Structure 1
Amino acid sequence: MNTTDAVTFWDGVHAARTVQDPRPNARLTEVVTGLPPGDALDLGCGAGGDALWLAERGWRVTAVDVSAVAVDRLAGLAGDRLTVERHDLRESFPRGRFDLICAHYLHTPLELDRTAVLRSAARALRPGGRLLIVDHGSAAPWSWNQEARFPGPREIAGDLGLDPAKWTIVRADSPRRTATGPGGQTAEVTDHVLLVRRNHRRDAPPPRTGNSEAEVLRGFLDYLRTSVAAKVDGAPEPSVRSAAVPSGTNLLGLLNHLTFVERAMFLGEEVGDWQATFRADAADSVADVVARYREAVERANDVLDGCPDLGAPVRPGRAPSVRWALTHLIEETGRHAGHADILRELIDGSTGR
């Protein structure tokens, strides 16, 4: 099923509907009332009732749908009150970061990896932002999907794979409502409602160290080493090795480079081409690169354990001193930890240490 097929199908659905003043979904009004306005994204906006309602309350709204008919109609109704875009969510996702993303009844008889779309939505949220998913929990007598199975809100949350340390499930329930069919008939149906919030960034405090110079330097270096490894660990393919900035820098390459830095500084290994170290081997998984870095750090610490004098050379008879090496590694690792922080947020929105 391609984009043309999806557009044709949904254009037919919307063209057959009478143009009228659309109303917002009740679950949206329940959730949003009382929230301060921000940037909102309405996925599968259809007639645009939710988008228009949000815009009237001060939200800066981007409304998207695959149907050209739906998009054109809503653009005509909305004027300059909101942004309307056409997207086939299987192939593209709106750019930007949002405080609220809503996906109401994002069901289709056509092929769609809905979980992938909803994961993209989760990644597009700012810290503190909310993702509202409202699904059918039962089929009305007039619905086309009588044989469909509707996963519950907790199952949907599980499919999204959200880290409980970074996400809060605000609401997960299955309320009933009265639905009205195309001929004016009514029926009691169930909604599945899931509301999740991205937690605000929580950085770890500076490390507690001993009072000696060596303890302070090594404590801060280990703090940064742990931070940069955690930024890479678990990052999704292929984004983890894709260039996210014009320089070509990528998240996995940063950690690969730092592995060579540790080995060169503390283990005496020679590096012929430093620029090449910013590219991880295609055969290496994320777990491989992270494990290799942690092994290099462990071996480097073994060397440092045998160097109590900061003024002495790391390797007998050769510069630099232990003090210089530690200071350089703190600067190098800290700089790339900052780069990694930005690159990871660009990939999936993850923030914090």
Structure 2
Amino acid sequence: MTHEHHHDDATLEELRQALTREFWDERYGGSERVWSGKPNQRLVEQTADLTPGRACDIGCGEGADAIWLAEQGWDVTALDVSRVALDRTAQHAIERGVDRRVRVGEYDVLSDRPPRAPRRTKGFDLVSAHFMHVPREDFDDVYRRLAAAVAPGGRLLVVAHHPDDVETGARESHGRGLMFPPEQVLAALGVEGGASDDWEPEVVDAPVREQQMPDGPMQVRDTVVRLRRR
């Protein structure tokens, strides 16, 4: 997950460098825990009405979302570019007693093929990508590959920082083109006019929530898109 702040004048190569294994191994290796260990609020909200099945958590980090999904009955493939993050996910799954429901694997969103679902299946029932901010030049290809891993009848769930947060001062810019509105996901997948032959939009929203910042609580806006493959 690309949560680091970048300058808007960063080059494309610099933005892509922040998605590499080396970058994130160093990031995770510098601290015993980087994230809170709690599942993302939007994941909890958007899966409340779904029947557990096979899930793929893209950019799983230290495993909070993957482990929470497993505790709800999902069989989870947790993918990340960082080996350090994957080792932590696997260890945390053991500690929470859900290691049989969580398998980890290395995945580079910029170059790897669509994530592979368990054998003898047609894809994942849920592909979840939270705060997967990639350069605009790579965006369409990345999200099309993630969408390709969704089984018929399954869901693609995308949650991200909304660019409005830069205008309101809630966040610094993540860099040129990295933050995006819901419409950008729809455009990448060819969902126009509210639907397509392949996808049925179930949630297309930009809700506000309160987040604790160093200077206190602040209102932030999320991009939230949930699509069902027909």
1:187 to 215, 218, 229: 218
For structure 1, the 5+ residue unaligned runs are: 200-353
Q: Deviations over 1:321-343 (max 9, x none)?
A: xxxxxxxxxxxxxxxxxxxxxxx
Query: Are 2:189 and 1:160 equivalent residues in the alignment?
Result: yes
Could you say what secondary structure the match of 1:103 adopts? Answer: strand
8 Å CA contact 2:212, 2:218 repeated in 1: yes
**Offset of residue 36 of structure 1:** 1.2
Could you say what secondary structure the match of 2:204 adopts? Answer: strand
8 Å CA contact 1:90, 1:112 repeated in 2: no
Could you say what secondary structure the match of 2:20 adopts? Answer: helix
Q: Deviations over 1:124-157 (max 9, x none)?
A: 1111100000111124656462765633212320
CA distance in 2: counterparts of 1:107 and 1:24, whole angstroms = 18
Q: Which moved more, 1:163-172 or 1:50-59?
A: 163-172
8 Å CA contact 1:3, 1:88 repeated in 2: no
Query: Are 2:107 and 1:87 equivalent residues in the alignment?
Result: yes
After superposition, the Cα gap between the structure-2 partners of 1:143 and 1:70, relative to the gap in structure 1 and judged at 3 Å, is farther
Query: Are 2:205 and 1:176 equivalent residues in the alignment?
Result: no
Paired letter, 2:110: R
After superposition, the Cα gap between the structure-2 partners of 1:149 and 1:54, relative to the gap in structure 1 and judged at 3 Å, is closer
After superposition, the Cα gap between the structure-2 partners of 1:142 and 1:161, relative to the gap in structure 1 and judged at 3 Å, is closer
8 Å CA contact 2:157, 2:226 repeated in 1: yes
Paired letter, 1:169: P
Return the index of the structure with the highest Cα Rg: 1
**Offset of residue 122 of structure 1:** 1.4
Q: Which has the higher contact order (CA 8 A, sep 6+)?
A: 2
Could you say what secondary structure the match of 1:161 adopts? Answer: coil
**Offset of residue 168 of structure 1:** 0.4
1:59 to 67, 74, 80: 74
**Offset of residue 37 of structure 1:** 0.8
CA distance in 2: counterparts of 1:5 and 1:26, whole angstroms = 24
CA distance in 2: counterparts of 1:153 and 1:31, whole angstroms = 15
Q: What is the root-mean-square deviation in Å for CA atoms of aligned residues? A: 2.7
The residue aligned with 2:120 is none
Paired letter, 1:78: A
The residue aligned with 1:22 is 37
After superposition, the Cα gap between the structure-2 partners of 1:5 and 1:52, relative to the gap in structure 1 and judged at 3 Å, is closer
**Offset of residue 113 of structure 1:** 1.5
Percent of residue pairs bearing the same amino acid type: 38
For structure 2, the 5+ residue unaligned runs are: 1-12, 118-122
Could you say what secondary structure the match of 1:40 adopts? Answer: strand
Higher strand proportion, which one? Answer: 2
